[in-house]
């Protein structure tokens, strides 16, 4: 990256901040070889890690968990913490529930799910 960036600076005759701003192109960049390696790594990761069946299974369980929690809190906003109940009364219930869920970690949601409501039919995330 340093070598390619240096070459770009010399080729563009960059000598000042104004030159950088007026360059019209990205000056700090990896070499074509590094770009090719990065592309290969990204392809590998998508095929063998991000789209691995176990990762996809966990993602679907997480989506179901969030869907169930969202529906439950919208049906029973009194189960939200006090400050979120107040926000829900003042405005958009659905946005308030989204904000509350967004602040949860996966671990928090899984550990505390049984305390939210007796109505939940959540899949257990083992």
The answer as to whether 123 is a domain residue is: no
pTM, two decimals, is 0.61
Q: Tell me, what's the pLDDT at 121?
A: 55
Q: Which residues of 105-119 are buried (b: 16+ CB within 10 A; e: fewer)?
A: eeeebbeebeebbee
Rounded distance between C-alpha atoms, residue 37 and residue 34, angstroms: 5
Same domain, residue pair 21 and 67 = no
Question: Looking at the 3D structure of the chain, how many domains does it have?
Answer: 2
| Nearest Cα residue to 33 out of 4, 13, 57 | 4
The answer as to whether 32 is a domain residue is: yes
Same domain, residue pair 78 and 36 = no
42 pLDDT tier (thresholds 50, 70, 90): very high
Same domain, residue pair 70 and 101 = yes
Residue 77: Cβ within 10 Å count? 17
The answer as to whether 97 is a domain residue is: yes
Same domain, residue pair 28 and 61 = no
Same domain, residue pair 13 and 66 = no
pLDDT of 122 above 60? no
Same domain, residue pair 63 and 100 = yes
Domain that holds residue 81: 53-116
- pLDDT greater at residue 116 or residue 110: 110
Determine contact, residues 125/104, Cβ cutoff 8 Å. no
Residue 65 buriedness (CB in 10 A; 0-12 / 13-18 / 19+): buried
Q: Tell me, what's the pLDDT at 120?
A: 59
- pLDDT tens digit string along 53-64? 999 999 998 898
Rounded distance between C-alpha atoms, residue 36 and residue 94, angstroms: 44
The answer as to whether 122 is a domain residue is: no
Quick one: average pLDDT of 106-123? 66
- pLDDT tens digit string along 20-34? 999 988 899 999 999
Same domain, residue pair 60 and 106 = yes
- pLDDT greater at residue 41 or residue 1: 41
């Amino acid at each position: 990256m340093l070598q390619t960036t240096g070459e770009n600076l010399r080729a563009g005759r960059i000598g000042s901040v104004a030159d950088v701003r007026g360059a019209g192109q990205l000056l700090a960049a990896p070499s074509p070889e590094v770009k090719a390696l990065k592309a290969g790594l990204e392809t590998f990761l998508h095929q063998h890690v991000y789209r691995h069946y176990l990762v996809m299974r966990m993602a679907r369980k997480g989506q179901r968990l969030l869907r169930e929690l969202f529906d439950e809190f919208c049906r029973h906003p009194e189960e939200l913490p006090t400050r979120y109940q107040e926000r829900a009364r003042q405005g958009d219930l659905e946005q308030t529930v989204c904000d509350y869920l967004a602040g949860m970690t996966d671990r928090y949601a899984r550990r505390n799910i049984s305390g939210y409501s007796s109505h939940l039919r959540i899949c257990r995330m083992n």
